[in-house]
Structure 1
Amino acid sequence: MRLAILAFAAGVFWLQTRAELPLPAAWLGAGLACLLAARLGGRRIGRPLLLLAGFLLGVAWAGWRAELRLDDALGADWEGRDVVVTGCVAGLPQPFAQGWRFEFAVDTVSTVNAVVPQRLQLAWYHSSQAAPAVEPGQRWRLTVRLKRPHGGANPGGFDYEAWLLERGIRATGYVRPGPADKLADFVWRPAYVVEALRAVVQRNFTRLMPAESWPWGGILTALAVGDQRAVDGDLWTLFNRTGTTHLMAISGLHVTMVAGLFGWLAAALWRRLPGAPLLCPAQRVGLLAAALAAAAYALLAGFAVPAQRTLYMLLVAAAALWSGRQPAPSRTLALALLAVLLADPWAPLAAGFWLSFAAVGALLYIGSALPAGAGWGQRLRGWGAVQWAATLASLPLLMWVFQQFSLVSPLANALAVPLISFAVTPLALLAAVLPWPPLLMLAHGLLDLLMRFLFWCAAWPLWQAPAPPPWAVVLAGLGVALCLLPRGLPGRWLGLLLVVPAVAWPPAAIPFAEARIDVLDVGQGQAVVVRTRRHALVYDPGPLYGGDADAGQRVLVPYLRWLGVARLDRVVVSHGDADHAGGAASLRAALPVDRWLSSAPEFGERCQAGQRWQWDGVDFLILHPAAADYDRGRGRNALSCVLRIDAGERRLLLTADIEAADEAALIARDAAALHADLLLAPHHGAAGASSAAFVSTVDAAEVLFSAGYRNRFGHPRPAVLARYAAGGARLWRTDRDGALRIRLAPQRVEVEAWRRQHRRYWHGR
């Protein structure tokens, strides 16, 4: 059964890597046929057929669920149009600087012929009208403007579209000015009751722990109700550096602890009731209480994958013990895996899924080898063995997903795990039920001691390497299994050799005199990474998304880490506009940079026409602005740093936000210097740039546009696209194609679109 479940899981995962959905009915028929043949065939062919049936049924299940979800789509003709909908606030609303963000379950659509999905993610901005404080369960009639799910598509980046698909959110948008009627204060549905309880706890914690005097209050909120957005963004960097991220959200250990505590209390009280154990054994009462407590906490915490996995394991184990059976731990884990995939076939797309199952699997794998005995020496050895197993099992996955590993993680977790799980979290949950300030003060005080220790740990170095290929991760998994074999068995040391490729994968080799240029998909803005054989440059660190997020933090730094770039030789911030320079602070905080160039003085040394340098046979030249341009009081766009990159006879031109007047000045200064094979179009394709004279002078064969999906400026403009197309250029767009990866070599130029090379069935749907 366990192997069949693993085959089913493999089928589910394989389906999530497809560019197009296969027909579920065909795979279901094939799976059932294999299942029947396995029952009728002998043992020799029965087991392989059973595994094949499991794989085929996994594909069919995931495909059927995907079809159902994708069918609930926003009509293509209704993107960007006003629609009147009636429904309920379905999730925990999140305040931000400009208003509120919340999930909305649509009940009815008032606009004639409008096709709107059942679940939306909406923003209600203060700028449109006074956004009231929305609460879970409220019913509203709203005028909204929607678009299909869309997010940045970058190597090593977060797939926002997959995240929305998993949660059933099939359109995003915002509330428009106009009628906004609250029709009911609360609609009584089980899911809304849970969300309302989470909101009450969140409000109580916010009231009792103001941010200015309770710096770790957001962590306590996250531990109580799973609201990770309550934690300051800078703290996640700290947790990543110390390997304690899993403890600052609802993990399986927290759910297990709550279940064990309530189970023990219920059994102890039941034994003290006269005659009660004769009606039902105290052990069964404890099991029932533990299961109910785990379910309640998992729901209160938002029902994330780690909480799901632990809940299903506890339910399976509780059901078996209730019936008098003793299930094998591996069977319990396999059944939990099956339950998670049946409920959520998109779970394998989340890093937490792999990390949680890998850690628990490793602990079960070494369970029989843990030191026995009740003495402190045996307990300490057992704790050390658990830490070693969990750390080693997660190491290949951390390198695959995050490309870094905290060397101090075992030490940090040695203190953080017991303190968070057995002291801070119980106090936070008790305060959720009984909002008494002394409880929160005690929890915050303990957390403050831990945070001081983690800040000290964060000063230790991180191990970083480029993302390894999947085969290296699989090989490392086999190596981990060898390393965790009982002491004394031969060949354990070979496991460490198998782990090495995953944790020390070398950066991609770039030939001499060649450059690799990546125009990242950062929305309405610009971020470009340029690499030669031994050097790296960033041209614009991307836009500012809001008060607590920017492209540097969310896109650029993770991408550089994915590449294995630990240091930048130069950063060119073309000008000071937020859509080009908004990620500068995050980039500066994350990586050392040897030199900064910019037309905006706050970002570094002034860029100026005529500056040039050469790296590994590749030439770099600043063409604009001229020295005199700074004295003319021109706008920021007009002072954009224009960079030309030459790899032998091939040339790329990066133009930022120059406009027609600046293009004319460049042509007058040196028209021949502008001719290029590739061009990053000026000002994202705005109408005031890419003049006919400039287009014909550059005469690029490949023209790239960095623009956001359905951006409010309409970039790139149709007239501009037509102008370049008329000259025979091939057009690329980040909003359509995702990140654009360029190979600039002396004899050839290659352009690849990330969405085309790594398409998934949910993209654009």
Structure 2
Amino acid sequence: MVAFSLFFTLGVWYLQQQAALPVLPVYWPLAALVLLLPRAQRKELAFARRTAVLLCAALLGFCYSAWIAQLRLSDQLPDEWQGKNIVITGVVAEMPREHERGLRFAFDVDGVQTAGAHVPRHIQLSTYDEDSNDPLELNAGERWQLSVRLKQPHGSSNPYNFDFEAWALERNIRAIGYVYAKGDNRILAEQTSSPAYLVQHLRETVRSHFQKTLGEAPYAGVLAALAVGDQSGISQDEWLLFTRTGVNHLMSISGLHITMLAGLVFAITFWVWRRSTRLTLWFPARKAAALAGLAAALFYTLVSGYEVPAQRTLYMVATCTAMLLLSRTFSLSQLLSAALMVVLLADPWSVLSPGFWLSFGAVALIFYVTGNRLKKQHWLKEYGKVQWAMMIGLIPPLLALFQQLSLVAPVANAFAIPLVSFVVVPLTLLGTLPPFEWMLYVAHEAMVLCMYLLQMLDQLPYVVWAQHAPPAWTVVAGIGGALWMLAPRGFPMRPLGALLLLPMFLVAPQQPAAGSARLVVFDVGQGLSVSVQTHAHALLYDTGPDFSGEADSGSRILLPALRGMGIAQLDTLVLSHDDVDHIGGTKSVLLGIPVTNVVSSLPNRHPELQFAAHNEACADGQSWEWDGVRFEMLHPAAAHAVQAAEHDNERSCVLRIGTGQHSVLLTADIEKLSESRLLKLHPDALPATFLVVPHHGSKSSSSPAFVDAVHPRYAMFTSGYLNRFGHPKDEIVERYRAAGSQILRSDEDGAVSISMDAQDFKVERYRASHARYWQQGIRPAVAGS
């Protein structure tokens, strides 16, 4: 069973790496052939049959997940209805959550009033208060008529980044959009009788109870997240603290909390049940306790929002309960294998989630270091052994998935796990009941103590180890080394397992050779950010947009990508001009990675420069050379460095990067006035192999004379998907196409990587090189202002 489940998992994982779904009728009969294979008596035939069974297990996993994917992808928003007004009716399917400008919520569509329109059954909507004089007040379970504008799920596509489109598919969110404030939006019914919506209404009631009871208490948001899964009340600084100290898994509805609660209910029920002879004779105490633990896990999972990570834990608990009720004797590996199969059957996309690998890996490690060991130890020593196993055994997956480790995580988890799981969570859940609301204050004080201790740890000199993404073979070797080190006492030369961990730290990505450069034009939506790497130096040009008060492209996109690529520090950060879509991630970058020098057109006292160790103004005439690669600043004029121009766009820092016969021109948001200046003063420097098109393809830039002078082989438009400005404009795109340029767009191609030296120039589109079947094709252009 263990081998079968592992090969089934391999098949599911392999399907999720495909660029297109297979034609299933060809594969299903082949997978079913294993059922017809006779049992063989001879060893060589038995081996052949076992091999066939395992191969068919992988094929079954592949076919099953492909079939489920086809069913889910069949319900999607048609291209022609993207961005159009559509009137729909349906139910607010979950507790609305606040964002910086309104509410965000899931909506189940049960009717479409607009003739000819098709809307998927499950969508995600947002409201924006500034668009309406009378903001909507929506509650879970209410039935509404809404006028909406939708688009297909689309996220940024960058190396070492979160895949929003895969996340949306896993949660069956087949369209996203917003409520059109000027439409006919009205409530149709205050409550529906569906049990699922009643649970959501209960969650919202609990959250309101928390807000009323705790008021402005500093960690009320953390308690709400632990009780009902609403993480909107946890600030970005708090998440950063949790991540740096390695306890972020505790501050949401994690599998650990559900398991702990189920175990606690199991223990209490077992203790009470076995003291009644009548109850024990009627039904075994252990089975009754298992059912009670499963009920507690189900209740907590539902109240927390039935999120996918919680579902995985629930399925594992249900599998354990089923095996116990069937009175089957099973090993720990069989138990984990059965849970693995149940999770994958319920959610084939779980293999894409880091939480899937970390949760199953952590449980497997616990079984590995505690199961089937002859010597019984004191519980405190056993707990220490488990913490040691987590610290060593999770190094390979953490480096592979996140490229960083919390060095204080073992200490932080040693006190945070029992404090949060056994004190904060139980008291918080009891505090949801009106008679016991006073327990919320006790839970909050316990959380205050936990946060104080975490903040003390965070002040230590070395808290986080961050590095490059390790090659796959080093991760495999590291896993083997960790298992060797954690093997039972008596296993030969256990300390030597540490040697197999070293390649993950020592084998770094290959740096560009002298005289060559590697660039990445990131997909940051409507904005710009470009990294430049030479043999021994690194530069970042702009930092992309600020998405909200709690999220920006610096923390969400750039830092993970830079870390994964092996860029540990920046020699220069260029901030082209004072537009939020170009410098919105600056604070996160300056706080997250060492930056030697900042070059910008911003005033010296600009807020974004307060964390810069050294900064200077960009100006025409600046130039330098790194490792045989030439950097030249062509704009703005020196006078503009100290005196603002008529428009921020015209002060944009224009940077030319060249080696041999190839060059890249970064123009930010310059408009026709600046283009004229460049044509007059730098006509010889303008021809470029690769051009990041000015101002995202706006009509105010890319004059015919400028396009003819640059005459790029590649013209890259950095524009957001279906952005409200309508960038890039069709006539600008056609202007570059007519000039012979190959058109690249971040909203269609994702991040674009460039490798260049004196002779060669190579371009790679991330959406093409890492294509997945859930990604949509090229989107239609949308008219805009």
Measured in 2, the distance between the counterparts of 1:201 and 1:305 equals 21
Which of 317, 328, 335 is the matching residue for 1:332? 335
Question: 2:245–2:463: 8 Å Cα contact kept in structure 1?
Answer: no
Residues 122 and 40 of structure 1, relative CA distance in 2, 3 Å threshold: farther
Whichever residue aligns with residue 128 of structure 1, its letter is D
Q: Give the structure 2 partner of residue 689 of structure 1.
A: 701
Which of 46, 51, 54 is the matching residue for 2:54? 51
Using the TM superposition, give the Cα deviation of residue 269 of structure 1 relative to its aligned residue in structure 2, in angstroms: 4.1
Measured in 1, the distance between the counterparts of 2:539 and 2:215 equals 42
Using the TM superposition, give the Cα deviation of residue 371 of structure 1 relative to its aligned residue in structure 2, in angstroms: 7.7
1:81 aligns with 2:87: no
Q: Give the structure 1 partner of residue 572 of structure 2.
A: 570
Measured in 2, the distance between the counterparts of 1:503 and 1:133 equals 52
Which of 749, 754, 772 is the matching residue for 1:742? 754
Q: Give the structure 2 partner of residue 114 of structure 1.
A: 117
Question: 2:319–2:342: 8 Å Cα contact kept in structure 1?
Answer: no
Q: Give the structure 2 partner of residue 179 of structure 1.
A: 184
Whichever residue aligns with residue 202 of structure 1, its letter is R
Question: 2:516–2:628: 8 Å Cα contact kept in structure 1?
Answer: yes
Question: 1:676–1:698: 8 Å Cα contact kept in structure 2?
Answer: yes
| Greater mean deviation of Cα atoms: 314-323 or 382-391 | 314-323
Q: Give the structure 1 partner of residue 681 of structure 2.
A: 669
Measured in 2, the distance between the counterparts of 1:279 and 1:512 equals 79
1:636 aligns with 2:641: no
Question: 2:351–2:357: 8 Å Cα contact kept in structure 1?
Answer: yes
Question: 1:399–1:503: 8 Å Cα contact kept in structure 2?
Answer: no
Q: Give the structure 2 partner of residue 159 of structure 1.
A: 163
Residues 475 and 199 of structure 1, relative CA distance in 2, 3 Å threshold: same
**Which digits, 9 at most, give the CA deviation of each residue in 1:398-450, with x for residues without a partner?**
10111001111111111111111111111111112347453122111111111
Residues 596 and 61 of structure 1, relative CA distance in 2, 3 Å threshold: same
Q: Give the structure 2 partner of residue 33 of structure 1.
A: 33
**Which digits, 9 at most, give the CA deviation of each residue in 1:427-475, with x for residues without a partner?**
1111123474531221111111111221222233322221123332223
Question: 2:717–2:745: 8 Å Cα contact kept in structure 1?
Answer: yes
Question: 1:399–1:468: 8 Å Cα contact kept in structure 2?
Answer: yes
Using the TM superposition, give the Cα deviation of residue 271 of structure 1 relative to its aligned residue in structure 2, in angstroms: 5.0
SS at match of 1:336: helix
Alignment of 1:212-611 (within 5 A): 214-270=217-273, 275-368=278-371, 372-373=375-376, 378-434=378-434, 436-458=436-458, 459=460, 460-601=462-603, 602=606, 603=609, 604-611=615-622
Measured in 1, the distance between the counterparts of 2:9 and 2:713 equals 46
Measured in 1, the distance between the counterparts of 2:193 and 2:506 equals 54
Measured in 1, the distance between the counterparts of 2:698 and 2:38 equals 63
Q: Give the structure 2 partner of residue 19 of structure 1.
A: 19
**Which digits, 9 at most, give the CA deviation of each residue in 1:315-359, with x for residues without a partner?**
222233334333211111111111111110000111000000001
Q: Give the structure 2 partner of residue 731 of structure 1.
A: 743
Sequence identity (%): 44
Question: 1:742–1:750: 8 Å Cα contact kept in structure 2?
Answer: yes
SS at match of 2:77: coil
Measured in 2, the distance between the counterparts of 1:689 and 1:143 equals 35
Unaligned 5+ segments in structure 2 are: 610-614, 778-785
| Greater mean deviation of Cα atoms: 195-204 or 681-690 | 195-204
Q: Give the structure 1 partner of residue 783 of structure 2.
A: none
Q: Give the structure 1 partner of residue 624 of structure 2.
A: 613
Whichever residue aligns with residue 502 of structure 1, its letter is M
Question: 1:74–1:148: 8 Å Cα contact kept in structure 2?
Answer: yes
Using the TM superposition, give the Cα deviation of residue 33 of structure 1 relative to its aligned residue in structure 2, in angstroms: 1.3
Using the TM superposition, give the Cα deviation of residue 740 of structure 1 relative to its aligned residue in structure 2, in angstroms: 0.6
1:707 aligns with 2:693: no
Q: Give the structure 2 partner of residue 7 of structure 1.
A: 7
SS at match of 1:759: coil
Measured in 1, the distance between the counterparts of 2:312 and 2:98 equals 30
Task: Output the TM-score relative to the length of structure 2.
Answer: 0.94
Question: 1:465–1:504: 8 Å Cα contact kept in structure 2?
Answer: no
Question: 2:708–2:739: 8 Å Cα contact kept in structure 1?
Answer: yes
Residues 39 and 91 of structure 1, relative CA distance in 2, 3 Å threshold: farther
Using the TM superposition, give the Cα deviation of residue 561 of structure 1 relative to its aligned residue in structure 2, in angstroms: 1.3
Q: Give the structure 2 partner of residue 138 of structure 1.
A: 142
Residues 92 and 501 of structure 1, relative CA distance in 2, 3 Å threshold: farther
Unaligned 5+ segments in structure 1 are: none
Whichever residue aligns with residue 682 of structure 2, its letter is D
Using the TM superposition, give the Cα deviation of residue 267 of structure 1 relative to its aligned residue in structure 2, in angstroms: 3.6
SS at match of 2:775: coil
SS at match of 2:168: helix
Measured in 2, the distance between the counterparts of 1:38 and 1:141 equals 60
Question: 1:464–1:564: 8 Å Cα contact kept in structure 2?
Answer: no
**Which digits, 9 at most, give the CA deviation of each residue in 1:154-182, with x for residues without a partner?**
00000000000000001111111210121
| Greater mean deviation of Cα atoms: 71-80 or 497-506 | 497-506
Residues 304 and 505 of structure 1, relative CA distance in 2, 3 Å threshold: farther
Question: 1:538–1:570: 8 Å Cα contact kept in structure 2?
Answer: yes
Measured in 1, the distance between the counterparts of 2:255 and 2:138 equals 31
Question: 1:542–1:582: 8 Å Cα contact kept in structure 2?
Answer: yes
* Cα RMSD after superposing both structures: 1.8
Measured in 2, the distance between the counterparts of 1:505 and 1:447 equals 40
Measured in 2, the distance between the counterparts of 1:341 and 1:435 equals 41
| Greater mean deviation of Cα atoms: 476-485 or 691-700 | 476-485
**Which digits, 9 at most, give the CA deviation of each residue in 1:468-505, with x for residues without a partner?**
23332223222222222111211433432222223443
Measured in 2, the distance between the counterparts of 1:369 and 1:281 equals 25
Whichever residue aligns with residue 197 of structure 1, its letter is L
Whichever residue aligns with residue 665 of structure 1, its letter is R
Q: Give the structure 1 partner of residue 780 of structure 2.
A: none
Residues 348 and 38 of structure 1, relative CA distance in 2, 3 Å threshold: farther
Question: 1:465–1:505: 8 Å Cα contact kept in structure 2?
Answer: no
**Which digits, 9 at most, give the CA deviation of each residue in 1:655-697, with x for residues without a partner?**
0000011100111122112121111100001011000010011
Measured in 2, the distance between the counterparts of 1:489 and 1:47 equals 30
Question: 1:518–1:742: 8 Å Cα contact kept in structure 2?
Answer: yes
| Greater mean deviation of Cα atoms: 400-409 or 465-474 | 465-474
Question: 2:552–2:584: 8 Å Cα contact kept in structure 1?
Answer: yes
SS at match of 2:518: strand
Measured in 2, the distance between the counterparts of 1:202 and 1:22 equals 45
Using the TM superposition, give the Cα deviation of residue 380 of structure 1 relative to its aligned residue in structure 2, in angstroms: 3.0
Whichever residue aligns with residue 624 of structure 1, its letter is H
Measured in 2, the distance between the counterparts of 1:631 and 1:262 equals 69
Measured in 2, the distance between the counterparts of 1:371 and 1:451 equals 39
SS at match of 1:708: coil
Q: Give the structure 2 partner of residue 623 of structure 1.
A: 634
Measured in 2, the distance between the counterparts of 1:368 and 1:717 equals 64
Question: 1:38–1:45: 8 Å Cα contact kept in structure 2?
Answer: no
SS at match of 2:391: helix
Q: Give the structure 1 partner of residue 612 of structure 2.
A: none
1:208 aligns with 2:213: yes
Measured in 2, the distance between the counterparts of 1:269 and 1:314 equals 21
Question: 1:431–1:440: 8 Å Cα contact kept in structure 2?
Answer: yes
Measured in 2, the distance between the counterparts of 1:427 and 1:536 equals 50
| Greater mean deviation of Cα atoms: 245-254 or 497-506 | 497-506
Whichever residue aligns with residue 616 of structure 1, its letter is D
Measured in 1, the distance between the counterparts of 2:303 and 2:264 equals 17
| Greater mean deviation of Cα atoms: 488-497 or 231-240 | 488-497
Question: 2:658–2:664: 8 Å Cα contact kept in structure 1?
Answer: yes
Measured in 1, the distance between the counterparts of 2:174 and 2:710 equals 42
| Greater mean deviation of Cα atoms: 403-412 or 194-203 | 194-203
Question: 1:38–1:49: 8 Å Cα contact kept in structure 2?
Answer: no
**Which digits, 9 at most, give the CA deviation of each residue in 1:371-410, with x for residues without a partner?**
8446xxx333212210121222211111011100111111
Whichever residue aligns with residue 62 of structure 1, its letter is S
SS at match of 1:46: helix
